[in-house]
Structure 1
Amino acid sequence: MKSDFKFSNLLGTVYRQGDIVFSDDGKQLLSPVGNRVSVFDLINNKSFTFEYEHRKNVTTLDLNKQGTLLLSIDEDGRAILVNFKARNVLHHFNFKDKCYQVKFSPDGKLFALATGRFLQIWKTPEVNQDRQFAPFVRHRIHAGHFQDILSLTWSPDSRFVISTSKDLTAKIWSIDSDEKDLASTTFAGHRDYVMGAFFSADQENIYTVSKDGALFIWEYSAKKTEDDEDEMEDEIDISKYSWRIAQKHFFYTGQAKVKCVTFHAKSNLLVVGFSNGEFRIYELPSFTLIQQLSMGQNPVNTVTINESGEWLAFGSSKLGQLLVYEWQSESYILKQQGHFDATNSLTYSPDGSRVVTAADDGKIKVWDVASGFCLATFEEHTSSVTQVQFTKKGQVLFSSSIDGTIRAWDLIRYRNFRVFTAAERISFNSLAVDPSGEVVCAGSLDSFDIHVWSVQTGQLLDTLSGHEGPISALSFSQENGVLASASWDKTIRIWSIFGRSQQVEPIEVYSDVLALAVRPDGSQVAVSTLKGQITIFDIQEGKQVGNIDCRRDIISGRNLEDRFTSKNSERSKFFTTINYSFDGMAIVAGGNNNSICLYDVPNEVLLRRFIVSRNMALNGTLEFLNSSKMTEAGSLDLIDEDGENSDLEDRIDNTLPGSRRGGDLSTRKLRPEVRVTAVEFSPTASAFAAASTEGLLIYSVNDSIFFDPFDLDVDVTPQATIEALNEKEYLNALVMAFRLNEEYLINRVYETIPLSEVLLVATGIPVVYIAKLLTFIGNFSLESQHIEFNLIWIKSILSAHGSYINLHKNNFSTPMRAIQRFIGRIVKDVTALSKDNKYTYRFLTSTDGSVIPEGENNEMPDGDDEDSEDEDEVVQSEDDDESGWIGFEGKDNKLPVGNNDDESSDEERI
């Protein structure tokens, strides 16, 4: 079992607060997610999250024009400079004040920073200057505003900066001392906060926008007098020129206020976001309204526009929503939204390509692991969804909720096709699905019974009685169909659902059972107890075979009101969720604390401990007591300072008192607490996911960058491999490439082998390299354009070595899922391409001089007839009843089914 897992991505959260920024090429969008930064690749449909963390939530960030340096700043003014290309942290710096905005100059040599009411100009660190101990050097500091600065804008030539403030003014500043006289102007006249000020493309005009919806257009002109009309001077007198208001325009939005504004100088587009969720696009200086749309009822907190002026990006912090809108075609490039409330459960699809999450907001979201985007959202549940689980084939998803229903979802057509309810209305908190997909079981805290339904008929088949306390967890064995249940009565029970006798003997645990996991082969069951133990039992004999003491491994963290360190805290010294790895050799565990622990089951030792979050804005992340912040009245961090804010919107508290689930409901104000509600290993055994307060954390093993030779000797070199390839010794060259385990070499040999030799090479390759070859094809084919070539390779390998793979299923689980993921991705594109070009094919075949007669021969190949009712219908393949392979009706189109475009949700990436 590999233990070198590293943080790889953050799903489930797309935007929290702060600025969003486009890269200079307009292909990538940077969004702050809590104390991390995520990057969405809008062209290649991918996303990733930087591994580094801030101490507080990120409020502002910017990327230089060259796309090499990323500067992000949190709420306390602590900045982190990152190499954007290599994703490495270069430097930490503390600006010691709240920073509202940071902007790199267009030439990249400087960056401007708004800290409080001061404007600071800093030099951008460069490679050719030796600043090892002081990479940040301050160039200039400007003071002139009387209140906090809200926004900054650079002039296109990097000579001037415009700042806007809460003191109802905007000011223009010069970078050079020689031009100080030219840029010592204050733009006054607005009656509310100035939210933004911008230069025109020729720098002849300046546009200022205030919070109350007023737009002023300023121009640099001289005051006309009678002497000037009589005399035409040859030289212009600069002293007579100044910035004056040329035009005034108003948005007339009623009670709505301007929340954000941006301007694209090249196309003269002004984009304004309002507090009622509306955004407008104007053309300046004519002030022509081009479009007016709404993205919901919540405020638009940030807006940005890419370099070409085609894509607009919006962020709404209350809903965690992120939009990228193409205004010319009036279509969404990206429309993503995270869960509004805490995530309760997660589950991997059998091929490991998707993760499904359920949350307190009653929504179920399907996430693509590779791209990081949400593919679909189900909203039929009327209350919190407590657990989700796939069937073994991965086409059906089940969910339980406290609204008293169990729902079955079709993930081919993305719809709810079955609802299961009990005889009385009870809330379900646990769920288990039989591997065959015929039976679904659910448990509740309201009832001590386990309810069993038939998936085909939807009827309640049985009620399993025996537990003397609420049911806390259920789990089916994937091999023998045995059901394990855990309860607060300090027992676990093993049920044979399909057996004749339902009498079972309870297994005593001597403590309240919080979580349960059955080993994939069905031989053992592991339980997590309230005393901080993970106890392992043998299912056949009903005896304890192992015990892991977890109390010393858990970092519970201290809350702000605690007067002790985390070491002395007894809070959450237990795990509430555990999961077995595919081989049953490791267990990953998480709970209401700041730790995710990976344990080795045979040796009962801790392999790795992962820190969930270092965000000090959450309760439970601190370890040590800071006595300087402790007073007789409690911690200084608990003092509510919102009433001192200058803005009315910041003073008003709209949150419900005690509204966070799982806390002390007697307290009026509750702080978000770090916790892990669900963990699960990926079926590919190379990753695991954890649902936490910050979002869905993905930890994976990335061994592609390491040189890991296999069965290497002196004669095996890259040069010898190329020579064997040139001499057409394809099998020998492929084996040597795998021995060297160099990806570029394997790729070259793989693509050089002629199509006529593929079957011969696949038949002769040693069985020890089959898993490596299948894994390579599965990963390579996702980026490759040679679809048929890859499919021929896969068919040849399975035809030659199918019996060996069937006898060693446990060694080929990861490669086969990689192959299945590849085929699942291309099938949607292939079917969509066939449907879109149906009439083109008919036209091309009818232009050869012959007319296709109407009648029974006027059919499209492969069942693409226009009048066919079951055009998209899929049938189960009779060759393999376990791997989830499906084929389209017609000729040998054996492909797994991916997402159906016609049934996808509105949050799918367009």
Structure 2
Amino acid sequence: MVDAIINQKDVFIEARTILERQYLEKLPVAAAASFNCYDRRHDSDCIQNTRVELLQEIKNWADGGDDRPIFWLRGLAGTGKSTIARTIAHYYHDRRRLAASFFFSRDIGGDVRHARKFFTSIAAQLANSSDSLGDHICDAIKRNGEIVNRAPQDQWRQLVLEPLLKRKNAAPQLSLVLVVDALDECENNEDIRTIVHLLSETRLLRKVRLRVLITSRPEISIRDGFARLPGTDHHDFVLHDISPSILNEDIRVFVEHNFNTIRQLHGYALNWPGVKSIRAIVEHAAGLFIWAATACRFIKNGGRFTEKRLSAILDGNVCTTAPDKSLDEIYLTVLENSIQADFDEEEEREHCSMLREVLGAIVILFSSLSISSLAKLVNVPGKDIDESFADLHAILDIPNDGDLPIRLHHPSFRDFLVNRKRCNDLRFWVNERKAHRLLADYCIDLMSMELKRDTCDLQEPGIIARDVSKQKIETDLPAALQYACQYWVQHLMRSDTQLEDYNKTHNFLLQHLLHWFEALSLIGKIADGVNKSPSLHSFVHDSRRFILYNRSIIEEAPIQTYFSALLFAPQRSLVRKQFEKEMPCWFKRLPEVQYEWGSLLQTLEGHSESVFAVVFSPDGKLVASASFDGTVKLWDVATGAVLQTLEEHTCSRMAFSLKGEPVGFASCDETVRLWNAITGVALQVLEGHTSYVNAVVFSPDGKLVASASGDGTVRLWDAATGAILQTLDGHSGMVKAVTFSLDGKLVASASSDGIVRLWDAKTGAALHMLEGHTSYVNAISFSPDGRLVASASGDGTVRLWDAATGSFLQTLKFHTSYVSAIAFSPHGKLAASVSGDGTVRLWDAAIGADPQRPKGHAAPVCAVVFSPDGNLVASASHDKRVIVWDVATGSALQTLQGHTAPVYAVVYSPDGKLVASGSRDRTVRIWDITTGVTLKTLKGHTGPIGAVAFSPDGKLVASGSQRVRLWDAATGAALHTLEGRIIPISAVVFSPDGMLVTSASGDERVRLWDVATGATLQMLDGHSGMVNAVTFSLDGKLVASASQDKTVRVWDAAAGVTMQTLKGHTGSIAANVCFSGVAPYLETDRGSLYMASSSSIAFASNTKLLSTVCVRGNWITQGHKKILWLPPDYRPLCSAFKGHLFVLGYQSGSVIFLEFNF
């Protein structure tokens, strides 16, 4: 029994460990960050009896009573900082007191040249160091699954600081040590300052003492970061200020240690090379450990030329006042020694040229490569590189395994090689710009040879990139090719090359642009392709528009590059024209799309609820959006990628100061609160409004605050004192938005009264009243030059106005729901709008025109329906019109006008000669489609009409509002009102014999009525959501209904019982459903549904839903395979389907045709 309990406990612990491991695996980790990672396997610790006093001082700081949480060890290149950091990390790791280590390196590159995975890597190591800390870190990940995308301060505090604060039973004297090496190698200066600032918060810890050792060169960004900290927060140690006698003694011990190895390796006498030579080497080192290490490696690898190499070192000049010169001399000595004595002039020139080219590539790589990958990239045989590098082990870490990355022993060699003044032998000097240009060319050559369509042979267009195995990607996209795809643009940009039409770069883009996008998607780097694209005239401009518009789907499903991205590109897109042949052959009929790229640049999708606010950062590089899903997202304007997801109260409105810090919040408690975003200290509470505050904004000079309130006023406040300066009163409704012009002279306010008002900020006088919106105005924004005012409204539009005169300029309609916010970027070239449709749209403010669309309706399309012969389509719209379309040509044949409100329903008569339409104006109209004339207007409903149907013989019309009514189609006479609950009717259909009518309604029921008497025959219960569509089978014995509960139910019409329930939809079936003429299919507006049996008495319950072609969410699918992604602009409100032809109706008012040829 005891054993069983113990086993159960072990199983429980193991299960919990596995679960926690799964959470920790969500943390992105820089694999090469830790001091003992494989990439650093040859990096050594301090030699015994060297750095004794310094190492002891660091240990005393970490272990003793020093309250300063940070030890900053700074020194010049080559003074041994990384070796000291590694020694300390090793020391505390062995004693199980190392919290974590992160060694930055531009040489290794990848994730250790930047800070994107800094805090998550630290958290992952910390979790592995302690079970209790691991529990707290796992809890943090559980609470916030998006923490990996959050701001650095959130990651630091939630994943590191808070778990340390929560740790129980920690000994008061316990100190953990965090080692951060080579912080100056982090490529972003702002990230460096942030790291220094956040790490100083370790002073808040009490039970656990976390001591942070930071090493770096004394770069400005790091000095600036520490300058902002109190002196009590850090210990500052300057490595190169150590007494020369102590330093030289340490270098002597180091050299003696290495020469012991050389003696044993080559069989030299114990007194070789003599005290005098050792002393000379120490003197040459000039205090630089890297010089001594390079000299020892150079001599050690000399083979039979060891003595000669020693002499070359000793014969060099000694420069104790300029250590760099000593380092330059030894680097040059190593390079010159690689030239063999028996080389003739041509061989020497060829050797130096290849050496310069390959070394140049190594020192400018953005991520380290193996010799085999490097050889493939620069198109040089690996054997030639091996031979040329044989004498360069003193400066290069060359692994025996050709698949492991080659590295510099020290970053100072890079500094030397690219500096013409330091590398004064031009045979070896690397012109950095030319090296970048050459490497860009090599990248382009490799991609041109290797990239192709569907390079990983995925075959299916809907395959998601994350589902492709890493092994498959690495096989089909080897390391050299991945490097080329990811970094060729950066090399090109660093080369400062002037791009020209039809040069190598242009030709590559013409042939392989889409292949490149596909490859970037597979390796997870599509955002890099967007962000780093160069400016190459019109084609690259078009390419950039193409990738910006399609980034999200190419990133998710790479093969959609050739499907959705091409199919929905504008007709005149250069990318579309260039790669038109790449479109799949099974598109029989392409949708009619806009002609040119419009002003819309990107649609940013990611919020799960409506977006209510958006603002650009002052530098225009970021957009912040706030949503009712409780989050604020920060987006990269250049790429459209989500950078961070922040939690924010949905009642707040944000205001950014000119420094980019959010300091103002509008509150639901009738106040405006000002905060310092860095310290969290409350600055002011501005009181005076008598209703909740909708918006708050700072004047450009930061001296004024304007607030907009539900009390119908705008108030201007003194930001320093909190005093009310002006009350702007004039709106007849709540004021929803307020903003200043850039010069601070004007204030614009927007209200629920649908009006925008312009005010004089100094006097409070009303200047202009901007009228034109047909609904409330949610947001306003001045362009940076002050000439334009943009307003966003509940009518789904953005309007542009002349700020000086108040005159209307144009209307922009990009969204499918109300527009809640609008903002210009600081340079005025871009604007962003957000909407209740859940999207953020970026558009070109200079163009400002609506995207060109096929002609059609001027408002959202509510319904589309095929004629009985399939040759015509009728569409009904909010623009109060019905349009009859020719299916063959896609052209409009008739526009039926007469309704005085939106038209919600439309249907053809059985002979296809008439159309009946139902409207919000409470009438049904019967039209002659040949002449476009209204034949009858049927009046009697008391509410909007959402459903209409002809009887099979065309003599009757049924219409549904809150009740169902039957009419004589010829005379327009009312025959019956079918009594029932007063509830919206969504569909009405006659049985094939015309004797029954079935209706679908919002009360989740299907009803059957007797046409002759108007009596209720059956009430079919079973759905758990509104019933959208209903139909009879061809023999009238079955009824099928489609509901928002995501099911289709098949009923026995006579008995009123469910025969079959079809499940599997991911969304509701929106408009209609009918039995196919080819059993056993059900046709819906979303495609054909396959039933397991066509028998009316043998249906299996809960049959899994199968399908042919249908619309599911954002995709058109075939069976269970995704085949075509629908961009946000092409997701229909309604659709009809016949055979392989889709007709899609849109919020924009357009109707498009899309036909497949499977």
TM-score by length of structure 1 reads 0.37
Q: Which has the higher contact order (CA 8 A, sep 6+)?
A: 1
Between Structure 1 and Structure 2, the one with more helix by share is 2
More strand by share: 1
